[in-house]
């Protein structure tokens, strides 16, 4: 009886240890935007939020770029006249794009999706 208990305990621990890496696979992405130029940059599959933001800002390449959205699944950026913009994050790229367009339309006209990206999960 004691051996069965020990075997069950070892199997349970092995299963728990085997499951740990799946929780550590959380990925982050970000989209950065420059309100003065309309330029943008993005990042995906980063292990920390700050890394995603930094890479997106760096990819934008303009001094006034700032990360406007950090996400775990998908995000989109929509830009219109006068560099008015909207952004959104969602579980799917379609939902993120629709929401980004709707937000952009609240501020300006002729909005188009400029960037949409999802993490590989």
Domain residues for 40? Answer: 25-118
Token pair of 93 as six digits: 């790229």
- Give residue-wise pLDDT tens across range 73-89: 999 999 999 999 999 99
What is the maximal distance between C-alpha atoms in the chain? 75
Give the span between the Cα atoms of 99 and 91, in whole angstroms: 12
Instruction: Report the alpha-carbon distance of residue 110 to residue 120 in Å, rounded.
Output: 31
Number of domains comprising the chain: 1
- Residue 82 in any domain: the answer is yes
For residue range 38-73, list pLDDT tens digits in order.
999 999 999 999 999 999 999 999 999 999 999 999
Predicted TM-score (pTM) of the model is: 0.78
Q: Is the dihedral of CA 5, 9, 12, 18 positive or negative?
A: negative
Quick check: is 77 in a domain?
A: yes
Does residue 1 lie in a domain region? no
Residue 6 lies in a domain: no
Does residue 12 lie within any of the structural domains?
no
29 assigned to some structural domain = yes
Q: Which residues have C-beta within 8 Å of that of residue 5, sequence separation ≥ 6?
A: none
What are the tens digits of pLDDT across the range 7-36?
333 344 333 334 333 333 599 999 999 999
């Amino acid at each position: 009886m004691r051996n069965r208990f020990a075997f069950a305990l070892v199997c349970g621990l092995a299963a728990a240890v085997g499951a740990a890496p799946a929780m550590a696979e959380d990925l982050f992405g970000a989209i950065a935007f420059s309100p003065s130029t309309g330029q943008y940059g993005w990042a995906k599959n980063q292990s920390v939020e700050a890394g995603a933001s930094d890479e997106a800002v760096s990819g934008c390449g303009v001094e006034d770029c700032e990360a406007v959205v950090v996400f775990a699944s998908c995000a989109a950026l929509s830009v219109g006249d006068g560099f008015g913009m909207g952004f959104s994050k969602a579980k799917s790229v379609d939902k993120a794009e629709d929401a980004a367009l709707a937000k952009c339309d609240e501020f300006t006209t002729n909005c188009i999706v400029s960037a949409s990206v999802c993490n590989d999960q």
